Amino acid sequence: MLEPEIAAFVERAKALYSRDHTAATVNDQRATYERFAAAFTPPLPDGVHTHDAPFTSPDGHTVRLRLYAPARRAQSKGTVLYFHGGGFVVGSLQSHDLITARIAADTGLCVIAVDYRLAPEHPAPAAHDDCLAVTRVALDARLPFGPLPRSLQLAGDSAGGTLAASVAMRLRDESVTGVDGVALVYPMLGVEPQLPSRDTQADAPMLTLADVQRYGALYWGAGVKDVKDVKDRALAAWTIPLEASRYDALPPTLAIGVEHDPLCDDARVFAERIRAAGGRAYAPVGAGLVHGSWRALATSPGVQWMHREVCRFLAGNAA
Domains along the chain? 4-317 (3.40.50.1820)
What's residue 194's pLDDT? 97
Distance CA 205, CA 290 (A): 7
What's residue 223's pLDDT? 56
Active site residue 95: no
Active site residue 261: yes
Q: What share of the chain is helix, strand, coil (3-state, %, to 5)?
A: 45, 20, 40
What's residue 21's pLDDT? 74
What's residue 5's pLDDT? 98
| C-alpha distance from residue 288 to each of 47, 173, 310 (Å) | 32, 37, 18
What's residue 71's pLDDT? 87
Active-site annotation holder among 291, 293, 300, 307: 291
Report pTM.
0.96
Distance CA 246, CA 275 (A): 12
Tally the residues of the chain: 319
Q: How many CB atoms lie within 10 A of CB 289?
A: 29
Active-site annotation holder among 115, 129, 180, 261: 261
What's residue 222's pLDDT? 66
Strands 62-69 and 152-157: unpaired
User: Amino acid identity of 32?
Assistant: T
Active-site annotation holder among 158, 166, 197, 300: 158
Long-range contacts, 276-280 (Cβ 8 Å, 24+): 276/247, 277/246, 277/247, 277/248, 277/249, 277/250, 278/248, 279/247, 279/248, 279/249, 279/250, 279/252, 279/253, 280/252, 280/253
Helix axes 4-16, 26-39, angle to 10 degrees: 140
Active site residue 197: no
Residue ranges, the chain, pLDDT below 70: 222-237, 319
What's residue 233's pLDDT? 55
What's residue 319's pLDDT? 67
What's residue 18's pLDDT? 74
The pLDDT tens digits of the residues spanning 35-65 come to 999 999 999 999 999 999 999 998 899 999 9
Distance CA 29, CA 17 (A): 9
What's residue 22's pLDDT? 73
